[in-house]
Structure 1
């Protein structure tokens, strides 16, 4: 059969397409195997190890090093797949590799060194799975060879020192520092006052999220408002620094003796291989009230003691009555003079009690300036001085006694708006104050509050 020209052309085109398709498939298979072949031919080296390699303590930082070396050069970026290890925290804190070159085995090598960090959270054996790497290196013709390759499996073990077995929330590091400070003195505090305590800590070669938490104690008579901690991680040439800072605001609601207990933090020193402790000292302080002069302890003049006079009369019966009367009068005058002087000094030393009008004026001024923290303090001071015997010294406790859940919720929102603004809701301080005063009046807890209600212009 004779084939015409058109049929021949179609046959030749089909054959060419088949050959091109076959060559493309073969080339793709060859590229997929290229990185493995390069590794087998010792043109690509993948190495993995950890630092330190022994005496690893649970919680300490372990550097997982991945070295990629080619006898040509890298044509593109390297990507490391996420690594998951059971009961361990794994972070890639460095975004770039350390690049270098070296001469080894009679060849020049271009090297990338990547570092991941591992924080084992228990004792025992840990298995590091094969880690997938995406590479791009140059072939002999300077063409990019792109593909994936895996690291070898790896394992290590960690232990918990015997001294730390019964401790909780401890860390392992080469340096740990904790301190605290207050925004004002703890002396001379009174109900309604606030104090903010800041506890700061830092450690080397740890993430900030692993630093221990702060113990926030709750004490009757003190409202406690801890703010969320501020965490910060810093990296400087491979050295990691973790910092944690937290503020706790205390509102003193009633008089009494109080104490912030000592706080103890445990840590394992990786340099000395010993357990160490850091202690924040305890603070004892008094929340005082307005003191009044008590005349019940007025000294009794010496000559009112009739028993002494009874003893003196027999001894002086031979003395002239004129001298006796003069002597007694002189002594009485001296004693009376000293007593009057001492009483005047005692009265002068007592703190003056602020008047009702003065406190109301200060309260209105604070509210007008949107200084609600000061306003709450003045309200406490007013209640402490003019609240009567029924006021328990704590707004929260008073609200609990009168069983007004709505007012308790409103007061909680008000205090959060002052001391935890990041969690605050919109609150109406004027509405709360009016309702609280009316409720106390109804319960006959605070009859004199009617004078204050008209002055509360809280907005």
Structure 2
């Protein structure tokens, strides 16, 4: 009987030691309390085992609706911690959860599956530990009502650059507007698009490219930097004065706890009409304006005669045939950005009364421009180039037939009516 009591007492004394040798988990949240919408909430889980883990644990993703979950730089790292009189080993994993609206967030039940070595036999033992207390509340700060979207950052800037615009732009030329948003704190996926907010002026055709999103980790624990780059190529289709408004973005500064607006410069330019460009005018001109134009024209003619007498004759403009063959060569292997300008120059000579492209020529030009300036730029295909050459040939034949018909004399009827 005494032996049984001694064995039972030894077993009861060993139970706490066995219980202590099971894996342990602890969870922390920063900040520990209400948070601002758009501000990252860092949840850190630490798992400890009495021996070692032969393989990494299986961590939960902690994804939740109306929030963005991401892993910060060096999200997982090993550690050791004293438990009683022994040194335990473990791993720590951090998640950043960014709430997108004012609400109560509950990440629900989550578990970490792991394998560790048995303290007595060193054999692998599978286990799971539960994560608790994963809820938090997010709210909008006073003064941020009506912001859509609500974007919180410690710093934010906008930049706009224009490239490709010649000194004297004309129809057929193109300009690329690049918008760059840089923010410290939020991930790039939260930066809103800006190009879609800018209305395309009449007379321009916009070809937006796919945005480029980048995230750069901060140095020595600093918050990451996010960048969103958007590019839109505008092809000039009509002469005129153009103004692309300056982009603007409202954001919430976590450094000043205030609403701020970031802006960048807009783009304004004038596209001159090429020689022979035909525009419709409404109504007759004023007589005084007409008289002034006649006087100015006579003076210009007199000055021109005097200048011509003292100088060589100006070079003759290129013929329709030369312009057409130059356009055909460009349509075969030239840069797509030059095709519209060459087409308009040829049309001004081939059909000066109406130099607008035919529907077939316009459709072929747009296919080539989409290939060069669209969301996924690529080399224009042979079929697109062949379609443009076919449309040009058909248009030229149509123009010539119309010109011949206009010059043909009208014959009297074979059987004139008897009076």
Q: Normalising TM by the smaller chain, what interval?
A: 0.7 to 0.9
- Indicate if the aligned counterparts of 1:391 and 1:445 stay in contact, CA closer than 8 A: no
Alignment of 1:217-228 (within 5 A): 217-228=199-210
Q: Paired residue for 1:422?
A: 376
Q: Paired residue for 2:147?
A: 167
Which one of the candidate residues 115, 125, 132 is aligned to 1:136?
Answer: 115
How far the C-alpha of 1:99 sits from its partner, in A, is: 1.5
How far the C-alpha of 1:212 sits from its partner, in A, is: 1.1
Higher relative contact order (CA 8 A, sep 6+): 2
Q: Per-residue CA shift, 1:407-446, capped at 9, x if unaligned?
A: 7654442321222273778543343454366468759998
Q: Paired residue for 1:258?
A: 242
Which one of the candidate residues 272, 296, 299 is aligned to 1:288?
Answer: 272
How far the C-alpha of 1:230 sits from its partner, in A, is: 1.6
Q: Per-residue CA shift, 1:257-300, capped at 9, x if unaligned?
A: 111011101111112212221112222211112369x9734399
Structure whose residues are more often helix by fraction = 1
Calculate the aligned-residue CA RMSD, in Å.
Answer: 3.8
Per the alignment, do residues 430 and 143 of structure 1 end up closer, same or farther by CA in structure 2, a change over 3 Å counting?
closer
- Indicate if the aligned counterparts of 1:388 and 1:445 stay in contact, CA closer than 8 A: no
Alignment of 1:260-409 (within 5 A): 260-290=244-274, 296-298=294-296, 340=303, 344=307, 355-356=318-319, 359-360=323-324, 362-384=326-348, 387-392=351-356, 395=357, 399=359
Distance in 2, matches of 1:247 and 1:434, equals: 32
Q: Paired residue for 1:12?
A: none
Per the alignment, do residues 343 and 58 of structure 1 end up closer, same or farther by CA in structure 2, a change over 3 Å counting?
farther
**Gaps spanning 5+ residues in structure 1: where?**
1-36, 302-338, 449-459
Q: Secondary structure at the match of 2:369?
A: helix
Per the alignment, do residues 39 and 65 of structure 1 end up closer, same or farther by CA in structure 2, a change over 3 Å counting?
farther
Distance in 2, matches of 1:380 and 1:176, equals: 43
Distance in 2, matches of 1:285 and 1:352, equals: 30
Distance in 2, matches of 1:163 and 1:75, equals: 52
TM-score using structure 2 length: 0.73
Distance in 1, matches of 2:55 and 2:44, equals: 20
Q: Paired residue for 2:367?
A: 413
Q: Secondary structure at the match of 2:346?
A: helix
How far the C-alpha of 1:111 sits from its partner, in A, is: 3.6
- Indicate if the aligned counterparts of 2:239 and 2:273 stay in contact, CA closer than 8 A: yes
Distance in 2, matches of 1:418 and 1:54, equals: 52
Distance in 2, matches of 1:445 and 1:188, equals: 35
1:49 aligns with 2:5: no
TM-score using structure 1 length: 0.67
Alignment of 1:7-156 (within 5 A): 41=20, 44-54=23-33, 56-92=35-71, 97-103=76-82, 107-141=86-120, 142-156=122-136
Which one of the candidate residues 201, 204, 225 is aligned to 1:241?
Answer: 225
- Indicate if the aligned counterparts of 1:62 and 1:118 stay in contact, CA closer than 8 A: yes
Q: Secondary structure at the match of 2:249?
A: strand
Per the alignment, do residues 429 and 119 of structure 1 end up closer, same or farther by CA in structure 2, a change over 3 Å counting?
same
**Gaps spanning 5+ residues in structure 2: where?**
1-15, 277-291, 405-419
How far the C-alpha of 1:154 sits from its partner, in A, is: 2.1
Question: How many matched pairs?
Answer: 362
Larger CA deviation: 93-102 vs 276-285? 93-102
Q: Which has the larger radius of gyration?
A: 1
